[in-house]
Structure 1
Amino acid sequence: MCSHIFNERNRSFSGREVIMINTDAEGIVVDRPNRFLCIVNITKPVTMESEMVHVHDPGRLEDILYPGNRVLLKRAAEGKRKTKWDLIAGDIMGEWVLVNSSWHRKISEWVIQNKIIPFLNGIDTVIPEKKFGDSRLDFLLMEKEKSIWVEVKGCTLARGSVALFPDAPTIRGRRHLEELIKARNEGHEAVVLILVFRQEAESFSANKVIDPDFALTFSKAIDAGVKVFPLCFSYEENTIHFRSLLPVFQKS
């Protein structure tokens, strides 16, 4: 049995600019020796071979960071680093997909501040990186006497029109869901913001194939009253654009 769960009315805000993320170079992936490092041959604006690039995303990214695929890079700030470049985006079917999780905070803050989700419209206090239980969750939002615990996840994988998270087993992600369930049981509100960077996505689902434990906990979280809001974004001309709020698709 399949069902679509709409936590809010699906509304389209296609084309709304969120933030600019400028890049300095384009290149071709040569290898990914570990999850935090990619070897890239830079092709634009100049040619540079075998540059080490920092990957700020712990996922597998197998359909993005494979040899021969195009990527966008940003020159790293001066400092004590082994790499001079940061990976920003990769090419999927001619579209750029953001693969740098260091921007998730700013994007999610934009969502909250611009009242994209009606459920969060009455917020008057935003506290980032607040500890709850044994985890540090991304936000604690306050609305008069109500507290809302928020965790943010970035999604770069899609199969057909379905965005999927995670793209690699995540014990940490499952633990965050368990903390949100605990928050609900203690009388708080709890929210998961899924930042989907695959603009072909029309719905979102937990990735049962990659991480069945996460998918099971995801279903338990929904049953406990944790609200899930998948938001679809595109990355065009150095700018993140908000496209739409997606439904959650569950198989039962």
Structure 2
Amino acid sequence: MHFEPALQPATLIKRYKRFLADVITPDGRELTLHCANTGAMTGCATPGDTVWYSTSDNAKRKYAHSWELTETQQHHWICVNTLRANQLVREAIEAQRIPELSGYSNLSAEVKYGTENSRIDLMLQAENQPDCYIEVKSVTLLHAGQGFFPDAVTLRGQKHLRELQSMAEQGQRAVLFFAVLHSGIESVSAAHHIDPRYTELLTQVQKKGVEVMCYGAALSAEGIRLTERLPLVTKSLNG
């Protein structure tokens, strides 16, 4: 994924009301950016960090600029635009850069499924194979080199785990895909210290056949690309 037009830098003043952030540009202008990330964004929105933002030419938008990346004062790169995760995974699948998800002839997005009024992020299909349901999650919470998901209690995420388990029990292929969009993260774990129920469900669904994949990414102001598979570890913050 390449950013066209190129992203522009600014210094973060503050994030507020979940969807907004104020920044100051190198030439001293103050801008308000739209923030597509509704999560806690712990460690991703520290005042003084460098923000990289895109600009839309859509005249109907109230805020023309969107917060895409954070370059932290510790020199980590983070993709904070959660809309990018699905795009990156789709791009990588179509480019055959995820061997575990190759061999399918059709890819669909946002397909209704399950019993809890859900939409699967991506579905892969091929003749004479079970359908493959892929739920994508963006991982950006870092602690001591390890990434954690979620960064806040997520009833929606719990629902997605139940839906994936149901698909696996019906003989379909079910995949939870962690897109690790923080350059400092080297492994991924369920955040038991934040959402213990999510951790319990993750352990349960894996036993029922749900696959969990974690992939890191190369991030820069020029673009983002999923790279290598990272380990999933069953370890809480307290060990």
TM-score of the superposed pair, with normalisation by structure 1:
0.86
* Residue 103 of structure 2 is aligned to residue 122 of structure 1: yes
CA deviations 1:152-177 (Å, max 9, x no partner) are 11111111221111112211111111
Q: 51, 73, 84: which is aligned to 1:103?
A: 84
Give the secondary structure class of the aligned counterpart of 1:109. Answer: helix
CA distance in 1, matches of 2:125, 2:157: 23
Higher deviation after alignment, 108-117 or 81-90:
108-117
Q: Tell me the alpha carbon deviations over residues 175-233 of structure 1, each in whole angstroms, 9 at most, x when there is no partner.
A: 11110001011111100111101223221111111211211111112111111111000
Q: Give the percent of matched residue pairs that are identical in Structure 1 and Structure 2.
A: 28
State the alpha-carbon separation in 2 of the partners of residues 162 and 116 from structure 1: 24
CA distance in 2, matches of 1:202, 1:32: 27
Offset from partner CA, 1:74-113 (integer Å, 9 cap, x none): 1123232221210011123213211112222321112212
Q: 1:83 is matched by which residue type in structure 2?
A: Y
- Counterpart of 1:69 in structure 2 is 49
Residue 163 of structure 2 corresponds to residue 163 of structure 1:
no
Match of 1:29 in 2: 12
Give distance in 2, aligned partners of 1:118 and 1:107. Answer: 15
1:47 to 24, 28, 33: 28
Query: For 1:63-212, what aligned pairs fall within 5 Å after superposition?
Result: 63-92=43-72, 93-133=74-114, 134-145=117-128, 146-212=130-196
Alignment of 1:249 with 2:229, yes or no, is: no
Which one-letter code corresponds to 2:44 in the other structure? I
Are the counterparts in 1 of residues 11 and 23 from structure 2 also a CA contact under 8 Å?
yes
Give the distance between the partners of 2:80 and 2:87, measured in 1 at CA: 14
TM-score normalised by structure 2 residue count: 0.90
SS at match of 1:249: coil
Aligned residue type for 1:101: T
Q: How far, CA to CA, are the matches of 2:67 and 2:105 in structure 1?
A: 35
Corresponding residue pairs, total: 231
Displacement of 1:237: 4.3
User: For residues 24-61 of structure 1, what are the alpha-carbon distances to aligned partners after superposition, in whole Å with 9 as ceiling and x for unaligned?
Assistant: 42111112222111111122xx3212x21111112111
Question: After the TM superposition, which segments of 4 or more aligned residues of structure 1 sit over 4 Å from their partners?
Answer: none
Whose strand fraction is larger, Structure 1's or Structure 2's?
A: 1
Amino acid at match of 2:37: D
- The aligned residue for residue 14 of structure 1 is none
What runs of 5+ residues in structure 1 fail to find an aligned partner?
1-18
The 1-side partners of 2:193 and 2:33 are apart by: 30
| Amino acid across the alignment from 1:238 | E
8 Å CA contact 1:90–1:97 kept in 2: the answer is: yes
Unaligned runs of 5+ in 2: none
1:76 & 1:192 partners in 2: Cα distance? 31
- Aligned residue for 2:137, secondary structure, equals strand
Q: Which residue of 1 aligns with 2:202?
A: 218
C-alpha distance in 1 between matches for 2:176 and 2:215? 11
Q: Greater relative contact order: 1 or 2 (C-alpha under 8 angstroms, separation 6 or more)?
A: 1
After superposition, give the CA deviation of every residue in 1:132-159 in whole Å (9 maximum; x if it has no partner). Answer: 1220011111122311111111111111
Q: CA deviation at 1:241?
A: 3.1
